[in-house]
Structure 1
Amino acid sequence: MIEAGEAGPGSATAAPTILPGRVGNLDANQQKALEDFKTLIQNEGIFVEERHDDHLLLRFLRARKFNLQATHKMFTDCENWRREFKVDELIDGFKFDEEEAVRKCYPRYYHNIDKAGRPIYIERIGMIDIKTLFKVTDEERMTKQHVLSYEKLIRDRMPACSRKANRHIEQCCTILDLKGVSLRQFANAFGFIKRTSAIAQNYYPEMMGKMYVINAPMMFTSVWGMVKPLLDEVTVSKIVILGSNYQAALKADIEAENLPADFGGDCKCSGAGGCETGEPGPWKDPLYMNPAKH
């Protein structure tokens, strides 16, 4: 599945189709909404040229179906949150020294790219031990680390993926592994997951390209059946719920060499932590890394 991107000369694969509502594929109304939105926030003095490019502004516009008033509220709420949460200070100074201890009770990591060039994000929900987690850290620090991860995704991972693909990449392919999850375990972790999910939805919109929920127990599929009608069609189309026979579906979007062996792929990263700590991808390749960092 190919997500939004600006095709460029020299792409390794055939030029992808740019999805509607993206740079390079805007109808007249969408183009006007983008111009009006940019003018509005420029006049208000909240436009930051180095951060607010057209791709980002269009993510907010798509999230609110190009309704200018609703988009403006979402955007200003986000900018107010960034200032109150001191996001820029986090980027420059936050150190998460407990990362290794946290990973043992809440495994989540980025691992290479899918066939569309998107970063692959893996989260093993069934292995979350929330009690141990909040013995080695606290919710405030976990939330800061979560935000910092999003900022690193936008500032480092996505640009590296875009350079490799020779087109704009702005979304992820996510794998949520529910193997071993229990109702009690999910209930314990639900509050934290809900709060971090709200940050993604409200302040980092339109960044999910595809989500695979694997090893889903019957309990989850039943709940999904009730929740699905409440979600918009675009979101539903990006989510695939699978049981234990998920390998073929993952490999349809991900090359085996980029998929960890734990999920049926061929990758076995070297090092003590394997794929969970190796986090290979264009963001670690000098050819595609941020030029300012090497």
Structure 2
Amino acid sequence: MAPEQTNGNDAALAPHTGQFGHLTPEQEKTFADFKAVCEKEDVFSESNEGRSVGRTKRERLDDAALLRFLRARKFEVPGALKQLKDTELWRDTNRLDELYDGFDVDAFEEARKVYHQWTGRRDRSGHPVYVYEISHIKDNIAAFDRSSKIVSTNNTASATDPIPGKLRMLCALYENMAEFVLPLCNAVPGRPNPETPVTATSHIVDVSGMGLMGYWNLKSHMQAASVLASTYYPETLDRVFLIGAPSFFPTVWSWIKRWFDPATTAKLFVLSASEVTPTLTRFMRPEDLPKKYGGELDWGYGMAPSLDTELAALLKRPAAEGGGEGGNGLEKGKWVRGPLRWVPDTDGARGAKIVARGTVGGKPRDEVVGVFTPRKA
């Protein structure tokens, strides 16, 4: 069930329809109409509780973000507007910015033990590559249980309900993706299809070692996580490569298809053992693929991200730390733990600072750990 190539073109590099630079005239008009409606409905206004520390709401809801909501609703403006409004209400009600910026650094790292992890690398299209080894939920069940008890156990799906405790850590990781990883990957000069913003991720999901009951026991969590992603972070998933599927997986797949929306399952590719390396290396450079899956990258689940050469070249240490051209505060071995934000400069120079947030010992952290200076491709 590996993804097929189309018309002889490499599917890994083919631009996606419905993306900037590849919109049809009708889609361009629909986007203009949608943006005008958003202005009229005042969706960009700041609430007292919804202000992003790093970016204003208008900066966060840029054209790329608006297009994600429109694509999620198949370019149907009323539906996209409702989903966007519901998302902003959900963010404001649950104080997502405060949640992320005030997240305990140790708890954030604990969450990484049981959820998807960024390798620090990108696929051939420029999307950040995440790895999720499902067995680690079982191996780190204590951490998973702690994440489940942090906040309210209210599981009612409503825009105005508190975030269920078991998903609060997952929300923090999604915020990290949206507030740091995607902006960083988008800033790489010379990346493929530069006319199209990087707004989605690629995932390797390793289900090796999971028994039949293991899938069933994770049912409610997987359903809730799917709703969270598709409702409040729409169109941030490009592809999912599922590997290590057991012989009984056809039975499991009949369940899973009902747990996720059709748009998500359409992006999932189940790879047999013989398909793993040839398929993944078609979509990812060998040096960006972990050795466990047939690549050359010396990275394992639980390790800090290992930035590729292009990403590392974007950053330099703040001058106060002795940084300069070629320096890098986030290079391998010096990764900063906890929540990070990409904070755009306000002087119009299109630069940005990498700011470490979160709390350490109950004390808030606000430290510039990297600086991005735009460079020509």
Shift of 1:131: 4.3
Partner of 1:7: none
Asked if the contact 1:102/1:136 (under 8 Å) is kept, the reply is no
Partner of 1:46: 43
Q: Of the candidates 145, 152, 161, which is equivalent to residue 176 of structure 2?
A: 152
Deviations, residues 75-119 of structure 1 (Å, cap 9, x unaligned): 111111111111111232122423455555x25311111111111
1:257 correspondence with 2:257:
no
1:242 correspondence with 2:271:
yes
1:106-117 correspondence runs (5 A): 106=114, 108-111=116-119, 112-117=121-126
Deviation larger for 68-77 or 182-191: 182-191
Deviations, residues 140-190 of structure 1 (Å, cap 9, x unaligned): 455222112212212211122122227221111111111000122222222
Partner of 1:172: 201
Q: 1:22 to 1:229 in 2, by over 3 A?
A: same
Partner of 1:194: 223
Report the Cα distance in structure 1 between the residues aligned to 2:132 and 2:177, rounded to whole angstroms: 15
1:217 correspondence with 2:227:
no
Structure 1 runs of 4+ off > 3 angstroms? 98-104, 133-137, 139-142, 225-237
Partner of 1:30: 27
Identity within the alignment, %:
29
Report the Cα distance in structure 2 between the residues aligned to 1:101 and 1:238, rounded to whole angstroms: 28
Asked if the contact 2:147/2:169 (under 8 Å) is kept, the reply is no
Shift of 1:32: 2.3
Partner of 1:10: none
Structure with bigger helix share is 1
- Consecutive unaligned residues in structure 1, runs of 5 or more: 2-15
Asked if the contact 1:161/1:288 (under 8 Å) is kept, the reply is no
Report the Cα distance in structure 2 between the residues aligned to 1:232 and 1:186, rounded to whole angstroms: 18
1:281 correspondence with 2:302:
no
Given residue 159 of structure 1, which amino acid in structure 2 is its aligned partner? P
For normalisation by structure 1, the TM-score amounts to 0.82
Report the Cα distance in structure 1 between the residues aligned to 2:225 and 2:258, rounded to whole angstroms: 23
Aligned residues: 275
Shift of 1:55: 1.1
Asked if the contact 2:133/2:301 (under 8 Å) is kept, the reply is no
For normalisation by structure 2, the TM-score amounts to 0.65
Given residue 281 of structure 1, which amino acid in structure 2 is its aligned partner? L
**CA RMSD after TM alignment:** 2.8
1:292 correspondence with 2:353:
yes
Report the Cα distance in structure 1 between the residues aligned to 2:214 and 2:14, rounded to whole angstroms: 42
Report the Cα distance in structure 2 between the residues aligned to 1:88 and 1:230, rounded to whole angstroms: 28
Report the Cα distance in structure 2 between the residues aligned to 1:205 and 1:107, rounded to whole angstroms: 18
Report the Cα distance in structure 1 between the residues aligned to 2:233 and 2:128, rounded to whole angstroms: 15
Report the Cα distance in structure 1 between the residues aligned to 2:145 and 2:251, rounded to whole angstroms: 33
